[in-house]
Amino acid sequence: MSRSGPGENGQTWLILGASSAIARAFALAAGERGAAVLLAGRDREDLERTAADIRVRTGVRVDVVPFDALDYAGHDATVALCREQTDSLNVFLAFGLMPSQDDCDASFEAVRQTLETNYLGAVSILSRLAPLLETQCQSRMGQNRVVVVGSVAGDRGRLKNYVYGSAKAGLHTYLQGLRARLCRTGVSVLTVKPGFVDTAMTWGLPGLFLVALPTTVAQAIFRHLDRGRDVVYVPGFWYFIMLILRHIPERIFKRLSL
């Protein structure tokens, strides 16, 4: 894989978990804006198909990077590849795992996989990317950007998904600290908290409402990036839904079947 360099707009986006619907939509939107794209994930055949589609639609440079969220030892190699490929790296992280709460209640293995994928995997790769982003931003006198897809589930420990929610809550807190660290060198960190999105993760789940399309989420993320936001709810009405849920007294909240 040859050095890709920045895209027409001077940017390169590393898409972690690029097989997810939101990641695909964001990668295409990045390409439409003239950015080069690095698709990172485990399923190379799937990523190559996505890469070919983005190339045809946008004409930008798209490469595929091997990445496994749980292969912590291999994350240094992913960072090294990014360092070789571009000096203008931006990061979009969208991988995750959401088993049912019943599965988590029945098996600690499901709990472990949920916590490792949604929290430890993200922290592992972001902590390794942080020094590279700081160095690049300082040397280029530009602004590198990090976007991480969290979840509204991390705002409150709900009966129906509190293991998944706890992983996202931990991720949100980590991102607050990372944001404080990176802003000192001009790197921005955007935490995205989607509500229900039409993806493979939510397919067939009962009780879904106001489900957003991945393309809608991707476009909203770019709008918020342009505005310099730190934390956003997508679609925006989820801010008000979660504001209400966060302020329900615990003595009442614990009795709700949410």
Q: Name the residues annotated as catalytic.
A: 164
Sheet holding 145-149, edge to edge: 62-66, 36-41, 12-16, 89-93, 145-149, 188-194, 231-234
Q: Return the structure tokens found at 173.
A: 């807190």
Using CA atoms, how far apart are residues 60 and 115, in angstroms rounded to an integer?
A: 35
Cis peptide before 206 (omega within 30 of 0): no
Using CA atoms, how far apart are residues 43 and 217, in angstroms rounded to an integer?
A: 23
- Give the side-chain half-sphere CA count within 13 A for 201: 23
